[in-house]
Structure 1
Amino acid sequence: MSMEFEKETLEILSKKVDNGQLSRRRFTQIAAMLIGGAPLALKAKGAWAAANELVFVNWGGDAMTAYDEAYGKPFLAEAGVTVKQDGSGPTEGAIAAQVESGKPSWDIVDADPFSAQALGKKGLMEPIDYNIVDKGKFRPGFGWEYAASTYFFSYIIAYDSSKFGDKVPTGMADFFDVEKFPGKRSLYKWGAGMWEAALLADGVAPDKLYPLDLKRAHDKIAAFKDNVVSYWGGGAESQSVLLNGEASMALIWSTRAGLIEKDSGGSIKFIWDQGLISPGAMGVLKGNPGGKDNAMKFIASAQDPKKQLVMFEKLGQGPANPAADALVPADQKHLNPVDPENMSKQIALDMAWYETNYGPALDEYTKIIAA
């Protein structure tokens, strides 16, 4: 194979990368086969542009379009870096597998802060560079060593108002009361928020929740199992179980509240009372292929209040930057988990407790709901 042929082939491939037809990782693989060494491939005309790419991993569905519109496209315009959206879901196990492979293909993940912290302490996440990311653009207390808060969401009660007449649930005790509010229920299969809901329903005061009494919570959930029609794992599942009438009440993400209210013509309603509010965050994988600095610059770019407003409008995410609060239209404030009126009715999940206890707690919860 002649050097001229190799050069022409690499130039064609690099153009495909520029046009989004080929990933830079696949480019490097092919180049390595052509030349026998990836470093030489990077000398091809245009190949350096392929390095200006980040892969952002989120939870898929509507999130991919929203993240691209709010953060991806603006970052390309600002920094010349393409941000590819991957909706495969950044679970702790998947992140660990990426890094431990020695050749991660992910750069930035939409992760629970407690997961990012736990992974970071194992050497699997990059520390957030607060020389680039601005701690002053967080709500106080929501910037961690390995995670930067970018939004808030809540686990809230959604219910089919057509089944209850004038009765409106007022908290978790009503969720677990099938005599007062008849019908099946749906819970989150990954445990978070469900322990708190069970304990609140069992009479534990909000300020006495932590450390969670897992035995008491699991006993409550186990005794309630006959009333649970499904354990949802994603937002679309939580919506469908209510929209198709399988459940009369479900604990769902607040990011789905406005969507389900609209899709049901207003018959599916929701309350903030005893909602369980949690921060979402971005973290950067150790040794990410797109480069640590570019990843940190992307996170910093996502702190823009106007961009966070786009995420609120498209996905219902409560802004992490308090400067965005004033931008939320008055008629949309009822959908914002961090609006002061809504916040006052909720309880914050304890990230420190989750960082230490989530893995074993989830194992036990999974055994109970699968039994």
Structure 2
Amino acid sequence: MKRGLTRRSALAVAGGAALSMPAFRRLHAAETLYVNSWGGPWERAAARHLFEPFTRETGAEIRPVSPVSFAKLAAQVRSGAYEFDVTTLGLAELVRAHQARLLEPLGPVAERLSWPGATLMNAVASHAFATVLAWNAQKYGDEPRNWQDFWNLSRFPGTRCMQRYAARVLPLALLGDGVARDKLYPLDIERSFRALDRVKPAIRVWWTQGQQSAQLLRDGEIDMIAIWHGRVLELIDDNKPVKMTWQDAEIDSAYWAVARGTPRKDLAMRFVELSVQPERLAGFCKEAGYGPLNPNAFRYITPAEATRMPTAPQFESQVFTQDMDNFGGDVAQVTARFERWVGA
């Protein structure tokens, strides 16, 4: 995670943006940009730290369109009828969108975003969340410690819960089976399913929504869970008897992307570029509960705030990032197999 702009390149980017801004404002002041949104707290944080500053700077209005939908992205690119211009994609969806040629090439934007890992497959790295191990503290106290403990049904008897999402679950299964983080990818798909077979009898629920996962843990319906970090922190903030660990947390990155063929391409590209600028991104991540992927954002984040973010430098040796470009199999086929396995 050693990323960063040099002082010279940062000044060049900022200076170039400042020089071009008046012409940009005159050109786009009367336009509206449609941004695919997750709604709820995500949209409120985006409105305050990304949408409103963009409107003040350019004069262009932003209208959010929710929920985020890969299917709508694909349909509108094929039909030419655009419901939104900009969307966010996780790594699994980004691979699919890239393969289907659904995204507009970044062009000069990619050249101006020079921190390592800033762009991938015609998308711009924005923020990240993590799937972490959490548990009922009244049952297990300060343990368990890692995914091997999640898989250890004899030492830690009790109910389990995981997300119904193959790309996130299969790497965790390998960690539970003893594979080291740096040896995960490409995934050994067959070994993953064998490991899942062992823990399946204890899985009470395959959750599909973040709110559902938090409710299951809060109400004591399950004892141990693979859950998004933000949902656990909310429960801890509410003094619920739950604990979590950052050990072997699985980082899933979110990328801004522009729908290929949108008639508002230039405006969309400007929004994407400004949305990952350090101060704006820091504000969004602090309010929405994510970790910034632009490391320069940590200049605007206190040490205490960083302890709640999976991309914070102090967690680098404990976490891992999904590698969808080196997945170990066809994502769509593996997902279909996973769905059949869950239902069997």
Query: The TM-score by the shorter chain falls in which range?
Result: 0.7 to 0.9
Residue 148 of structure 1: how far off its partner (Å): 0.5
Residue 111 of structure 1: how far off its partner (Å): 0.3
Correspondence for 2:84 among 97, 102, 106: 106
CA-to-aligned-CA distance 1:78-122 (integer Å, 9 cap, x gap): 11122222231223x332122222212111111024423432343
**Identity over aligned pairs, percent:** 27
Letter in 1 for 2:342: I
Letter in 2 for 1:122: A
Residue 222 of structure 1: how far off its partner (Å): 2.9
Letter in 1 for 2:184: L
Matches of 2:91 and 2:287 in 1, distance apart?
Answer: 22
Q: Secondary structure at the match of 1:59?
A: coil
Q: Secondary structure at the match of 1:157?
A: strand
Matches of 2:169 and 2:153 in 1, distance apart?
Answer: 17
Name segments (4+ residues, structure 1) moved above 6 Å.
48-51
Matches of 1:97 and 1:346 in 2, distance apart?
Answer: 35
Tell me which residue corresponds to 2:69. Answer: 90
Matches of 1:219 and 1:355 in 2, distance apart?
Answer: 16
Q: Secondary structure at the match of 1:152?
A: strand
Change (3 A) 1:340 1:72: same
Matches of 1:79 and 1:284 in 2, distance apart?
Answer: 18
Tell me which residue corresponds to 1:282. Answer: 256
CA-to-aligned-CA distance 1:309-347 (integer Å, 9 cap, x gap): 222221221112211113222222221111122121012
Bigger Cα displacement from structure 2, 291-300 vs 48-57:
48-57
Larger radius of gyration: 1
Matches of 2:87 and 2:247 in 1, distance apart?
Answer: 30
Letter in 1 for 2:46: Y
Q: Secondary structure at the match of 1:154?
A: strand
Tell me which residue corresponds to 1:293. Answer: 266
- The answer as to whether partners of 1:58 and 1:90 remain within 8 angstroms in 2 is no
Residue 129 of structure 1: how far off its partner (Å): 2.8
Change (3 A) 1:189 1:58: farther
Change (3 A) 1:62 1:200: same
Change (3 A) 1:354 1:114: farther
Cα-Cα RMSD: 2.2
- The answer as to whether partners of 2:132 and 2:229 remain within 8 angstroms in 1 is yes
Q: Secondary structure at the match of 2:63?
A: strand
Change (3 A) 1:100 1:365: same
Matches of 1:97 and 1:207 in 2, distance apart?
Answer: 37
Residue 126 of structure 1: how far off its partner (Å): 0.4
Letter in 2 for 1:151: H
Correspondence for 1:134 among 87, 102, 112: 112
Bigger Cα displacement from structure 2, 253-262 vs 334-343:
253-262
Tell me which residue corresponds to 1:30. Answer: none
Matches of 1:348 and 1:181 in 2, distance apart?
Answer: 27
Correspondence for 1:197 among 144, 166, 172: 172
Alignment of 1:238-249 (within 5 A): 238-249=213-224
Letter in 1 for 2:301: V
Matches of 1:345 and 1:356 in 2, distance apart?
Answer: 25
Letter in 1 for 2:246: W
Change (3 A) 1:117 1:217: closer
Correspondence for 1:221 among 191, 196, 209: 196
Residue 205 of structure 1: how far off its partner (Å): 2.0
Alignment of 1:199-348 (within 5 A): 199-263=174-238, 265-289=239-263, 291-348=264-321
Residue 299 of structure 1: how far off its partner (Å): 0.7
Residue 243 of structure 1: how far off its partner (Å): 0.9
Residue 268 of structure 1: how far off its partner (Å): 1.6
Letter in 2 for 1:159: W
Higher RCO, 1 vs 2 (CA within 8 Å, ≥6 residues apart): 2
Q: Secondary structure at the match of 2:276?
A: coil
Change (3 A) 1:211 1:260: same
- The answer as to whether partners of 2:187 and 2:327 remain within 8 angstroms in 1 is no
- The answer as to whether partners of 1:188 and 1:194 remain within 8 angstroms in 2 is yes
Tell me which residue corresponds to 1:155. Answer: 131
Give the alignment's TM-score, normalised by structure 1.
Answer: 0.80
Letter in 1 for 2:318: K
Alignment of 1:13-32 (within 5 A): none
Residue 132 of structure 1: how far off its partner (Å): 7.0
Letter in 2 for 1:294: L
Matches of 1:321 and 1:305 in 2, distance apart?
Answer: 7
